[in-house]
Amino acid sequence: MKLQIDGQKLRVRIDEGELAILLAGGILETRTQFATAFALGCALRLTPGADAALSGVADAWRIDLPDAAVREHAARLPTREGLRFTLPGKGDGDPLELLFDVDVRDSVRRRRPS
């Protein structure tokens, strides 16, 4: 799982193996220790609701994605289009745009004739 942060955009990119884990009910986790400063951990899971959600504390995030939307997206693979969700900001804060996509480069390479 790869996380990219750019202002009020958070992009979550996974590969097809990780997608299989999610679709089987598993949870993806990643953790990065930023030298001696701090650590950042993130867990990604599918939930039955229709909305995406982000919760946790600064060093332990949890991203919930709607199961049905991810399954529909998986059925359309390979595609360059990912899923987009807008999460409201706290109070009058700016909303966060959550982008989710699956890297299919490995399977596309396998499908191409040599």
Q: What is the pLDDT of residues 63-89, one digit of tens each?
A: 999 999 999 999 999 988 999 999 998
What residue has token string 């289009």? 81
Residue 27 has pLDDT above 90, yes or no: yes
In the chain, what are the domain boundaries?
2-111
